[in-house]
Amino acid sequence: MKLSGGEQQRVAIARAIVSRPEILILDEPTASLNGDTGRMIIAFVKEKILNAHRCILIVTHDARINEYADRILQMEDGRMTATNQGA
């Protein structure tokens, strides 16, 4: 059986959470997901990781994730262009 891109992404995120890292780094975690599923996954990850007193670093072009961020660092052409508090 072959998994879709979104299914593969959800499995990878679940495996990362189960391994209990001190810092969870997610690169474009919502790229293969529709809006509702992406928000659900990010909310789930934030709840599970932060409740375990661990850190999440998300690198993304998806501005919908901003509402879940405690801090947002914005880069353009390899330079920091903005820093602000998230939600």
More confident residue, 86 or 43: 43
Look at residue 54 and tell me whether its pLDDT is greater than 90.
no
| Reported confidence tier of residue 60, pLDDT bands at 50, 70, 90 | very high
At residue 9, the pLDDT reads: 84
Q: Structure tokens of 2?
A: 């072959």
Name the CATH superfamily housing domain 5-85.
P-loop containing nucleotide triphosphate hydrolases (3.40.50.300)
The pLDDT mean for the chain works out to: 87
User: Residue 33: what pLDDT?
Assistant: 84
Query: b/e for 54-65, b at 16 or more Cβ within 10 A?
Result: eebebebebeeb
pLDDT score of 27: 92
| Neighbour-count burial of 45, counting CB atoms closer than 10 A to its CB (0-12 exposed, 13-18 middle, 19+ buried) | buried
